[in-house]
Every structure is written in C-alpha cells, then in structure tokens.
Structure 1
Amino acid sequence: MTDRHPLDLPELRPLWSAVHDRLSSGRPVTRVRSGPLDDAGREALADLLGLDRLPGAEPTIPLAGLDGAVLDACGRPVRDVVTAILGPIRDRAAERELAAGRREALWGWLAGHDVVTAQPVLLEWVGHLRTNGLVDGSPDRTRSLLTAALTVLAALPAGGEPLPVLAARLLDGDSHALDDGTRLSSLVLRALAVLYGTDLPDVAEGRRALWSRAGVADDQLSSTVLAAGLRLDGDGPVARVSRICAEAGHPVSLTLAQLRTPGDFTGPAGPVHITENPSVLALALRRFGHHCPPLVCTSGWPNTAVIHLLRRLADNGASLHYHGDFDGEGIRIAAHVLAKTGAVPWRMASDDYRTAAPRVPSGPDPGRLTAAPWDQALVDSMAELRTAVVEEVVADLLLDDLANHRHG
C-alpha cells in the first residue's frame, strides 16, 4: 500500500483541489482561491503558511507564497505535492486547442471528400453538421459515422433494394444500420433533402418517400427512363423493343424491372447524349425521325431506371454527354448525373451560358445557386446575369450537335 503524502490532510483537501484545478487550466497562475474551509481547515492552512491568525473561510493565496511554504514543509514544490495527492496536472488550454484542431481537420476532410466535391450542394449539409457540432461526441466517432453516411450516399441512387438489404450490403452486414431513427439514417436523409432541395421529413411516411426517391425499394414499374434512337444489339427484350422503337422513329420507355432483367444486349459504342427535358427529345424525334441518334432523357432528377441504363451504356463503351437547364436546380441535377454515371458536360460551360442568356433577356431568376464542379466560372456567370436558360431555348444548338451523330 502506498504511503499517503504527509500534506494529504483531510482539512487541506479543498486547498489542494483548488490548486490542482487552477494549475490544470494550462494558463499562468499567480493566485489561488480556496474554500470554503471549516475551522480545522483554516487552522491547518494558517499552520502551513505560518500565519499569526486564521485566514477567512475562502482565502485567496499567492501561489508563490504557498509554493515556498510547501517547499519548507516537505522539500517539494506545490506542483509535485498536488500531483502526488490528486494525480497528474492537466493542460486544459492545450487540450482545447488540440480538440479544436481535430474538429477543424474533421470538417475539412468532410468538405473535401469526393462525394461532396462531386456535388457541391452537399456543402450545405456539411455546414449544417458543422454548425450543430460533433455528431457522435468525439471527432473519431463522428468521422466513423460520417464515413458510413458517405458510403451510402456514394451508392445512391440504389437499384430498388429494400433499405435493410442496402444497409447490409454497404455497412458490414448490419441490416439495421439505416433503420428509421438511427443517427446514420438521419445523416443520410438530411444530405438527400439538401441534394433534392426539399425539407427534411418529420414523419416516417415522408422519410420513406425520400428514400424511395433515392432508389431504395423503388417501384420497379413506375420508375422508367425515356430514350430515343437507342439501337441495341442482342436478342434480349430491352434490345428488341429499343430497336423497334428506334427504327420506327418513336421513343421507348423502359421500366426498372425491364432494365434489371434486360436479357442480352450491347451498344451503342459511340456517343449517347442526355437531356434533362422530354421536350428536347421530342424535338429531336421530330427533326430526325428514325435517323435519331442515341438520346436519353432524365426527365428532371434522374430516377433509378435512368441511372441504371446510363451506367449500363457506359459499361458497354458508350461515351455519355449531358445537357440540362441553366438554373440552380439544373446545375445540381447535372452534377448528380456526372457524378453517378461518368458523363461529361455537353454545352454546359460558362461561355455556353453567356452566349445563350441574351436569348431570354427577361428570363426567370435561376434561384438558389451551388457550384458546378466541371466549371467554376459557370455559377459566377449565373450569379452575375441572374437569368435562367432552359434547354428549350438552346434546342436548335443541341439538335445541330446531334445531327453530326444521326443514324444512317
């Protein structure tokens, strides 16, 4: 058993606690206030300091005087004494500085993550999290939770999997990791709300709808993709119906169910152009008919069927080229399509916008703007001109581009 320090007296414990606490601040200390001391404590302090009368119940003691008295009493400085009695002295100032540095590093890591930089609107999500502090109490635990959230976001839109199946596949077999009400589920849903520009749902039905919009347990029949000129090789049903429609100069609407069991098909190996709005696809069919080049429409925010088809086409060697509206929502949709499919921008640069804007001198305001990862100057130009340019305004330019790729 370790012997107690000779100055470790019950009546002096309030004094040693006060000294230990002040020294642990990590800041310069010249005086220490102790107490409240009972009569025995006041007598013990008077004896230690060599006072000719009792101090008050809550005395303020110069640290230098106390240090000298402790040296005379036991030959050790007061720092050694309180360490022996109460344990190591901390440096709370250094601890706070270290913790602040770790928090800054965490938020910097999150803001610079590939999932966020590919879709800069998610910086709003990062800002919300930063404002509200650590998600799980410590930088390390928070980073672990955010890593899981980013893993899920990178995999969305999903292919119609139920939520427990998606969770088990992505999160070490834990089918309950994304259950409603978990911290991880809340993190991902907040990111999806920011991405789609909606309010965070406060009821279970709304949360299920938001998951569905991201392709989780999606309806395989109502999730469809519209295309034209899609001549696919192969004998599978998707290839056959796409060829029939293309050769007749008609659009084809493919369901997620068809795309998930497409049968054998390949191609096209050349460029496939993508538009945001069905009206542009309709104009292309009117102009080119059965000569229409491969064209896929996202119909606004792409659903699971759209992403599924585009990824399959890219895997078959097609190069994907995307065009959408020049407004805030259109830029976010474009960033999403590029990030999820590997498509490249098609007439979506700052110069394209500046050339098109005079066509709509009294155009609508573009709304909430977020960065375009492919062209940092684009959103600056939109913020300057404050004019939205929808695809239909530049449809003639898009169709002229497509003319170089028409079939036959």
Structure 2
Amino acid sequence: MTDRHPLDLPELRPLWSAVHDRLSTGRPVSRVRSGPLDDAGREALADLLGLDRLPGTEPTIPLAGLDHAVLDACGRPVRDVVALILGPIHDRAAERERRTGQRDALWEWLAGHEVVTAQPALLDWVGHLRTTGLVDGSPDRTRGLLTAALAVLAALPADGEPLPVLAARLLDGDSHALDDGTRLSSLVLRALAVLYGTAVPDAAEQRRALWSRAGVADDGLSSSVLAAGLRPQGGGPVAEIARICGGAGHPVSLTLAQLRAPGDFTGPAGPVHITENPSVLALALRRFGHHCPPLVCTSGWPNTAVIHLLRRLADDGASLYYHGDFDGEGVRIAAHVLAKTGAVPWRMSADDYRAAVPRVPAGPDPGRLTPAPWDRALVDSMAELRTAVVEEVVADLLLDDLAEHRRG
C-alpha cells in the first residue's frame, strides 16, 4: 500500500483541492482562495505558512508564498505535491481548445466531403448538425456515424432494395442499422428531407414514404421512366419495345421491373440528352417524330427507374447531357442527376441563364437557392436577377441542339 504524503492531511484537503482546481485551468495563477476551513484547517494552514495568527475561514493565499512553505516542509513544489495527493493536473484551457479544434475539423471535413460538394443543398444539413452539436457525444464517434450516413446517401437512390438489405450491404452486415428510430436513420432521413425540400418526417408513414422516394423498397411497377428515340441493340423485350416506340415516333414508358430484367439490351453509345420536364420531350417528338434523338425525361426529381436507366445507358457507353429548370429546385435536381449518373450540364451555365432571363420579363421568383457544383456563378446570377426560367422557355434552343446532334 502506498504511503500517504506527509502533507496529505484531512484538514488541508480544501486547500489542496482549491490549488489543484486553479492550476488545472491552464491559466497563470498568483493567488488561491481556499475554504471554507474549520478550526483544524485554519490551524494546519497557519502551521504550514508559519503564521502568527489564524487565517480566516476562506483565506486568499499567494501561490508563491504557499510554494515556498511547501518546499520548506517537504522539499517539493506545491504543483508536485497536489498532483501526488489529488492526481495529475490538467490544462482545461488547452483541452477546451483541443476539443474545439476537433469539432471544427469534423464540420470542415463534413462540409468538404464529396457527397456534400456534389449536392450543395446538403450544406443546410451540415449547418443544422453543426448548430445542434455532436451527434454521438464525441468527435470520433460522431465522425463514424456521419461516415455511415454519407455511405448511405452516396448509394441512394437505391434500386428497390428493402431497407434491411440496403443496411446490411452498406454497413458491415448490420441489417438493423437503419431501423426506424436509430440515430443513423434519423441522420439520413434529415439529409433526404433537405435534398428534396420536404419537411423532416415525424411519423412512421412519412419516414417510409421518404425512404421510398429514395428508391428503398420501391414498387417495381409504379416507378417508371419516360423516354423517346431509344433504339437499343438486343433481342430482349425492353430493347424491342423501345425500338418499336422509337420507330413509330412514340415515347416509351419503362417500369423499374422491366429495367431490372430487360433481357438482351445494349443502349446507344452516342449522346443521350436528359430533360426535367415531359413537355420538352413531347415537343421533341412533335419536331422529330421517328427521327427523335435519344431523350430521357426525369419528370422532376428522378425516381429509381430514371436513375437505373441512365446508369445503364452510361455503362453501355452513352454520354449523358442534362438540362432542367433554372430555379432553386431545378438546380438541386440537376446536381442530384449529375452526382448520381455522371451526366454533364447541357445549357445550364450562368451565361445560359442570363441569356434566357429576357425571355421571361415577369418570371416567378426562383425560390430557395443552393450552389450549382458545375458553375459557381450560376446561383449568384439567380440571386441577383431573382427570375426563374422554366425549361419550356428555352425549348427551341434545346431542340436545335438535338437537331445538330442528329445531323452529326
């Protein structure tokens, strides 16, 4: 058993606690206030300091004088003595600075993560998390939880997997990691609500609907994609349907179930253009008929069938070009499509926007704006002019581009 230090007396414990606490602040200390001391403590302190009278019950003691007294009593400085009696002296100021640095580094890492930079609308999610503080008690545990959330967001929209299957595939086999009510599930759903511009779901039915919108356990029949001019190679049913519709100058609507099992199907290797609005696809069919170049419509926010088809076409060698509305929602949809499919912008620059604004002198307000990853000047131009330009306004320019591609 370790011997107690000769100055480790019960009556001096209030003094040593006060000194230990002040030294642990990490700031310069010249005086220490101790107490309240009982009569025994006052006598012990008077003996230690060599006083000719008893101090008060809460004396303020110069640290230099106390250090000399302790050195005389035991040959060691007061810092060493209180550390031996009460344990190591910490530097709380340095510890606070270290924790602040860790938190700042965590939020900077999150804001700069490729999943967030690809869809800057998620910066609102980052801002909310930073305001509410660490999600799981410490920077390291929070980073681990956020890393898992980012892995899920990167994999969405899913291809109709049930939620437990998606969780097991992405999260080390843990099929319950995204169960309703878990911290990870709440993180991902809040991010999806920010992306889609919806309220954070507060009921189980709303949460299921948001997961479904992100392609989790999608109905293979209700999720479909509208396209025109697709003339894929292959003898499978989907390729034949698409060729028949394309040859007749009709659009084709393909369900997720069909796209999951298309049979022999190889998409066109040339350019495939993508529009946000079905009306542009209808105008293209009216102008080009059975000569319509390959065109896919997202019909607003793309569902699982849209993303599935676009990824399939890209894998088969197609170059994807996307155009959408010039408003806040349109920019977020564009960022999502580009991030998830590898498409590139088509007439979606700040210059394109400025050239289009005079076509709608009394256009509506563009609403909530978030950065466009492909052109940082675009959101600045939209914030300055505060005019939304829907895709139909520039449809003639888009159709001219399609005609040029067809001739090429």
Q: TM-score, normalised by structure 1?
A: 0.99
* SS of equivalent residue, structure 2 residue 406: coil
* SS of equivalent residue, structure 1 residue 32: strand
Task: Report the equivalent of 2:185.
Answer: 185
Query: In 2, Cα distance between the equivalents of 1:66 and 1:384?
Result: 67
Query: In 1, Cα distance between the equivalents of 2:190 and 2:402?
Result: 39
Query: In 2, Cα distance between the equivalents of 1:68 and 1:221?
Result: 85
Query: In 2, Cα distance between the equivalents of 1:39 and 1:235?
Result: 101
Task: Report the equivalent of 1:36.
Answer: 36
Query: In 2, Cα distance between the equivalents of 1:292 and 1:407?
Result: 11
Question: Is the 2:267–2:312 Cα contact (8 Å) retained in structure 1?
Answer: no
Query: In 2, Cα distance between the equivalents of 1:318 and 1:113?
Result: 28
Query: In 1, Cα distance between the equivalents of 2:33 and 2:384?
Result: 61
Query: In 2, Cα distance between the equivalents of 1:201 and 1:265?
Result: 39
Task: Report the equivalent of 1:248.
Answer: 248
* SS of equivalent residue, structure 2 residue 219: coil
Q: Return the letter of the residue paired with 1:27.
A: R
Question: Is the 1:293–1:407 Cα contact (8 Å) retained in structure 2?
Answer: no
Question: 1:208-227 CA deviation, whole Å, 9 max, x = no partner?
Answer: 11111100011111000000
Question: Is the 2:229–2:291 Cα contact (8 Å) retained in structure 1?
Answer: yes
Q: How many pairs align?
A: 408
Query: In 1, Cα distance between the equivalents of 2:108 and 2:166?
Result: 28
Q: Return the letter of the residue paired with 1:311.
A: R
* SS of equivalent residue, structure 1 residue 225: strand
Query: In 2, Cα distance between the equivalents of 1:269 and 1:45?
Result: 90
Task: Report the equivalent of 1:87.
Answer: 87
Question: 1:197-255 CA deviation, whole Å, 9 max, x = no partner?
Answer: 11101111111111111000111110000000010111111101101100010000000
Question: Is the 1:238–1:259 Cα contact (8 Å) retained in structure 2?
Answer: yes
Task: Tell me whether 1:301 sits opposite 2:310 in the alignment.
Answer: no
Task: Report the equivalent of 1:374.
Answer: 374
* SS of equivalent residue, structure 2 residue 51: coil
Task: Report the equivalent of 1:404.
Answer: 404
* SS of equivalent residue, structure 1 residue 28: coil
Task: Report the equivalent of 1:76.
Answer: 76
Question: 1:67-86 CA deviation, whole Å, 9 max, x = no partner?
Answer: 11111111111001001111
Task: Tell me whether 1:316 sits opposite 2:310 in the alignment.
Answer: no
Task: Report the equivalent of 1:211.
Answer: 211
Query: In 1, Cα distance between the equivalents of 2:137 and 2:33?
Result: 32
Query: In 2, Cα distance between the equivalents of 1:44 and 1:147?
Result: 57
Moved more, 31-40 or 10-19: 31-40
Structure 1 segment 96-111 matched on structure 2, within 5 A: 96-111=96-111
CA RMSD of aligned residues (A): 1.0
Query: In 2, Cα distance between the equivalents of 1:79 and 1:353?
Result: 68
Task: Tell me whether 1:341 sits opposite 2:338 in the alignment.
Answer: no
Task: Report the equivalent of 1:222.
Answer: 222
Question: Is the 2:270–2:317 Cα contact (8 Å) retained in structure 1?
Answer: yes
Task: Report the equivalent of 1:27.
Answer: 27
Query: In 2, Cα distance between the equivalents of 1:116 and 1:361?
Result: 34
Task: Tell me whether 1:48 sits opposite 2:48 in the alignment.
Answer: yes
Question: Is the 2:238–2:258 Cα contact (8 Å) retained in structure 1?
Answer: yes
Query: In 2, Cα distance between the equivalents of 1:226 and 1:107?
Result: 40
Query: In 2, Cα distance between the equivalents of 1:141 and 1:195?
Result: 25
Q: Return the letter of the residue paired with 1:51.
A: L
Query: In 1, Cα distance between the equivalents of 2:190 and 2:41?
Result: 57
Consecutive unaligned residues of structure 2, counting only runs of 5 or more, are: none
Q: Return the letter of the residue paired with 1:364.
A: P
The alpha carbon displacement at 1:406 in A equals: 3.3
Question: 1:91-119 CA deviation, whole Å, 9 max, x = no partner?
Answer: 11111111111111111110000000000
The alpha carbon displacement at 1:404 in A equals: 2.0
The alpha carbon displacement at 1:10 in A equals: 1.0
Question: Is the 1:291–1:407 Cα contact (8 Å) retained in structure 2?
Answer: no
* SS of equivalent residue, structure 1 residue 406: helix
Query: In 2, Cα distance between the equivalents of 1:23 and 1:234?
Result: 79
Moved more, 333-342 or 87-96: 87-96
Question: Is the 2:24–2:92 Cα contact (8 Å) retained in structure 1?
Answer: yes
Query: In 2, Cα distance between the equivalents of 1:170 and 1:234?
Result: 33
Query: In 1, Cα distance between the equivalents of 2:222 and 2:293?
Result: 26
The alpha carbon displacement at 1:407 in A equals: 8.3
Question: 1:157-207 CA deviation, whole Å, 9 max, x = no partner?
Answer: 000111000000000000000011111001101100100011101111111
Question: Is the 1:249–1:289 Cα contact (8 Å) retained in structure 2?
Answer: yes
Q: Percent identity?
A: 88
Question: Is the 1:288–1:406 Cα contact (8 Å) retained in structure 2?
Answer: no
Question: Is the 1:349–1:375 Cα contact (8 Å) retained in structure 2?
Answer: yes
* SS of equivalent residue, structure 1 residue 221: coil
Query: In 2, Cα distance between the equivalents of 1:40 and 1:264?
Result: 95
Task: Report the equivalent of 2:156.
Answer: 156
Question: Is the 2:37–2:57 Cα contact (8 Å) retained in structure 1?
Answer: yes
Query: In 1, Cα distance between the equivalents of 2:344 and 2:398?
Result: 15
Task: Report the equivalent of 1:114.
Answer: 114
Question: Is the 2:321–2:344 Cα contact (8 Å) retained in structure 1?
Answer: yes
Q: Return the letter of the residue paired with 2:271.
A: P
Consecutive unaligned residues of structure 1, counting only runs of 5 or more, are: none
Query: In 1, Cα distance between the equivalents of 2:178 and 2:244?
Result: 42
Query: In 1, Cα distance between the equivalents of 2:384 and 2:373?
Result: 18
